[in-house]
Structure 1
Amino acid sequence: MDIDFGIDKKNFFKSVNEKTFFLKRAAVDVSKFDWSNVDQALYSWDIDINDVKIFKNGIVDSSEFLENFNDYGRTKIRIKKHAFYQHLMEGSSISFHKFHLKEIFSNKLAMEISRFTDANTCVNAYAAIGGQGTFDKHFDTHDVFAIQLIGKKRWKLYNPSFEKPLPIHKSKPLLSQSPQEPVLDIILNEGDMLYIPRGMWHEAIPIENQETLHLAIGTYPLKVSDFCEWVIKNKIHESIVGREYLIGDHDSHLMESLADCFKRLVTNKETLNEFVELKRSEHRFRSEFNLKGLLSNDIFQNCEEKKFKFNSLSKINDEGKIVINGISFEFEEKAVELLKRNNYSVYGIKDEKDLEGDYIADLATKLNFLDIVS
């Protein structure tokens, strides 16, 4: 699966990212997604109290549609279907938290956006059948890619009133400061994608008698504050000034030395690279299993275009090494050349005419087995 972003990665970061909204019509082929995907996800979901929320004139108390039950000695939560269905049919909006953990199509979209933005992602899904069950005007503290999968929905976007909010900042106390006139008022159709930078006020409004389901794929890049916290916790103590006690009056010379030490650390490129690679190596992509291909010795059975992508945001280093999903792997030279021709992220089996098919197939099989590509 590929998303047609309508802009290349370089230009996205140059002119769009955190600067303005961006709309791409028909960005995703949604012909293989319908309500049965949602049904399957809900069937397999081990529901937590915060996984499903219903909104209609405010947040609906979860006791109306969730109940506890005893499951072989363990207390679990289930959805009361009749109440859930009734709310949906009466115009409530329903949100599903971390939907990508239970539904493969949305997880693939999240992985595509992760690779495009070099950021971790999380997916919430929002369903409604008409009605007025909106989640009110608000801003998010992360960037969002909204993708319409079923039906249509109206979106209104407003300029930010608070610059670059972090998770500690909430939009509700600042609602009175939000602009009244939207800068964008559109209908998203199936397959359309809308990028909304953090801090931009927005409303997603169901359309009367129109069924709708969209994904809100949030991106979570590493932040400057993350790097600073990591340096203080893991690096500052390597200098003696970072191991000093604070006793009595604060010594101005000590504070100046500490500031100099911190500046040296955060401006050191090797320190920054160490932090970035560590965080990337800690991340785990959620990829599909392929037992059918494994047992038949044909991993390409379920691969429509015979293309594989890294299950990571990491890049191959100069020595041909990479760490993905906790696995360290070293590529030989001709494999690196193969990946270079395809931007280190995507390579097409059928497109590589100058290499023997068995070599490419064996490499792809090994990487798929190790959960390095999928």
Structure 2
Amino acid sequence: MSLPPTELQDAVAPPGPGVLLTRLTGLRREEFARDVWARSALLIRRASDFSDLFCADAVDELISRRGLRTPFLRVAKDGSTLPESAFTSSGGAGATIADQVDDTALWRAFADGATLVLQALHRTWGPVTDFCSGLAAELGHPVQANAYVTPPQNRGFDDHYDVHDVFVLQIAGTKRWIIHEPVHPDPLRDQPWSDRRAAVAEAARGEPHIDTVLAPGDVLYLPRGWLHAARARGEVSIHLTLGV
């Protein structure tokens, strides 16, 4: 649950300018709390070079060499999450892990338009861990991270809202984002978008608040409750979502 701006200002933050100013928004913590936090979506062009945090090679490392498993890996296409059995299999005779990632099945799903979701990167990828820790100390809230790897001209999820604030960091490729204002402001954890599916679908047909293409280095901040959907353009898109 997002704190009011005044409470965010009172959070204990480490010394120095912080990543809000230097990497994400160009705003000091007090400015962000006063003008943006929990109030409105914010788009920042060329905020930073995020190649030190994550990249395509990191995706290959996590999936092909580190044995990333569910639930740290999800696969989604056109608004639906694929069952784990669609991209996992047994390790063979004598193996005790029955749900290892099946590389062939996984990349076949990706080639067919599915988005790979690498979850909880704040626990599995060092640079993201450090970045999230710094942002959490600055905001006074826990921060988690997922990566979304989407093939060209596809999207993983339909229009929806989150029940937490997010920062979207475009890493590679480009992705078109369409943002609408909330149908239910400041939803709590037990008020997911699926409970308001019809209202979300109707609002998504209206005039968007933001209709833009994110390129590498761009950042989008969305308070909880803001509707969004995104589609990759002419190349593979990779973005990080930091959930606050």
SS in 1 for 2:116: strand
Q: Which residue of the partner structure matches residue 182 of structure 2? A: 160
The total of aligned residue pairs comes to: 217
Equivalent in the alignment of 1:192: 218
* Counterpart-to-counterpart distance in 2, 1:109 and 1:71: 41
- How far does the alpha carbon of each residue in 1:53-100 deviate from its partner, in whole angstroms, 9 at most, with x for none? 222232222211112337966335311111111222222111111122
Equivalence for 2:242:
217
Q: Deviations over 1:134-172 (max 9, x none)?
A: 311110000001101111111111101112111111102
State the AA in 1 paired with 2:212.
Answer: I
Give the match for residue 57 of structure 2. Answer: 36
Instruction: Report the CA distance between 1:113 and its aligned residue.
Output: 2.3
Of residues 30, 37, 47, the one that matches 2:69 is 47
Instruction: Give 3-state SS (helix, strand or coil) of 2:49's partner.
Output: coil
- Sort the Cα spacing of 1:215 and 1:89 in 2 relative to 1 into closer, same or farther, 3 A: same
- Taking the TM superposition and a 5 Å limit, the aligned residue runs for 1:1-374 are 3-32=23-52, 33-42=54-63, 43-48=65-70, 50-57=71-78, 58-69=80-91, 74-178=96-200, 179=203, 180-207=206-233, 209-219=234-244
CA spacing shift, 1:163–1:4, aligned 2, 3 Å = closer
Q: Is the 8 A contact 2:68 2:101 kept in 1?
A: no
Residue by residue over 1:287-325, the C-alpha shift from the partner in whole angstroms, topping out at 9 and shown as x without a partner, is: xxxxxxxxxxxxxxxxxxxxxxxxxxxxxxxxxxxxxxx
What amino acid maps onto 2:134 in structure 1? E
**Partner Cα distance (1:31, 1:215) in 2:** 11
Asked if the contact 1:148/1:214 (under 8 Å) is kept, the reply is yes
- The 3 A distance-change label for structure 1 pair 77 and 94 is same
Change (3 A) 1:11 1:68: same
Matched-pair contact (CA < 8 Å) for 1:44–1:102 = no
Distance of 2:229 and 2:182 partners within structure 1:
13
- Shift of the 187–7 alpha-carbon distance from structure 1 to 2, 3 Å rule, reads same
Quote the sequence identity (%): 24
**Alpha-carbon distance change, 69 to 105 in structure 1, aligned in 2, over 3 angstroms:** same
Is the CA contact (8 Å cut-off) linking 2:67 and 2:100 kept in structure 1?
no
Letter in 2 for 1:212: S
Which amino acid is 1:195 matched to?
A: Y
Cα distance change on mapping 1:28 and 1:107 into 2, 3 Å = farther
Indicate how the Cα distance of structure 1 residues 60 and 9 shifts in structure 2: closer, same or farther if over 3 A, else same: same
Change (3 A) 1:9 1:72: farther
With normalisation by structure 2, the TM-score equals: 0.81
User: Counterpart of 2:16?
Assistant: none
Q: Distance in 1 between matches of 2:146 and 2:41?
A: 19
Judge conservation of contact 2:24–2:219 (CA < 8 Å) in 1.
no
Q: What do the CA deviations read for 1:236-267 (whole angstroms, capped 9, x no partner)?
A: xxxxxxxxxxxxxxxxxxxxxxxxxxxxxxxx
- Choose between structure 1 and 2: higher helix proportion: 1
Question: Structure 1 stretch 35-44 or stretch 108-117: which is displaced more?
Answer: 108-117
Inter-partner Cα distance in structure 2 for 1:82 and 1:73: 19
Corresponding residue SS for 1:176: helix
The Cα offsets for residues 212-258 of structure 1, whole Å up to 9 and x where unpaired, read as: 11011000xxxxxxxxxxxxxxxxxxxxxxxxxxxxxxxxxxxxxxx
The structural deviation recorded for 1:202 is: 0.7
| Long gaps (5+) in structure 1 | 220-374
- RMSD value, Cα: 2.0
**What CA distance in whole angstroms lies between the structure 1 residues aligned with 2:90 and 2:101?**
9
Contact 1:106 1:215 in 2 (8 A): no
Q: Structure 1 residues 27 and 71, CA, compared in 2 at 3 Å: closer, same or farther?
A: farther
AA partner of residue 190 (structure 2): I
Task: Give the aligned partner of residue 3 of structure 2.
Answer: none
- The letter of the residue matching 2:243 is G
Larger relative contact order (Cα-Cα within 8 Å, sequence gap ≥ 6): 2
Distance 1:123 1:31 in 2: 15
**Runs (4+) of structure 1 moved beyond 6 Å?**
70-73
Q: For the Cα contact (< 8 Å) 1:99–1:123, is it kept in 2?
A: yes
